[in-house]
Structure 1
Amino acid sequence: MNRRRLTLVGVALAALVATAGVAAAAPSDNARESSPASEAGQQGPPGELPGPVPEFVSDIHDLVSDFLNEALDGSLGDSLSDLATDFSGA
């Protein structure tokens, strides 16, 4: 009796997990209809991508890369401070 009950519970749990997985994987009809990308035949996130980052962000990345490659003369903090002063116009 115990073996039969455990088998029945195991089969029921497997069916429940399989059903939940299929339901989670399938997008709802509302999601497909309301997406502008699906209307245009495209996939991906809705909306447009953000604009390019300002030039000073690339300058900061260059300073950090130089610091990590030990090619930076002086300290990273002083270099970043100088860059921030140049950016703020002070």
Structure 2
Amino acid sequence: MNRRRLTLVGVALAVLVATAGVAAAAPSENARESSPASEAGQQGPPGELPDPVPEFVLDVHRIVSDFLTGALDGSLGDSLSDRADGFSGA
């Protein structure tokens, strides 16, 4: 059971780190305003948007966020484990 909890915590941390990396790589608002696309009156990304993340990922983010703010009743491992028990994969 400990191995499963550690794996779930590791996955949750990897998702958080990846999300932070994407946010850090995004251009700032000032950079977007001065881009050639904004000068031409175009808005948004040049291609199609990616699919939304599965509900499981959103739940993991909520659980970890609740843990970090102290709003989580119980342990992080137990909460992630409970959520993973209902996950069937995609």
| Structure with the greater alpha carbon radius of gyration | 1
Higher RCO (C-alpha under 8 Å, 6+ residues apart): 2
TM-score, scaled to structure 2: 0.45
Q: What TM-score comes out, normalization by structure 1 length? A: 0.45
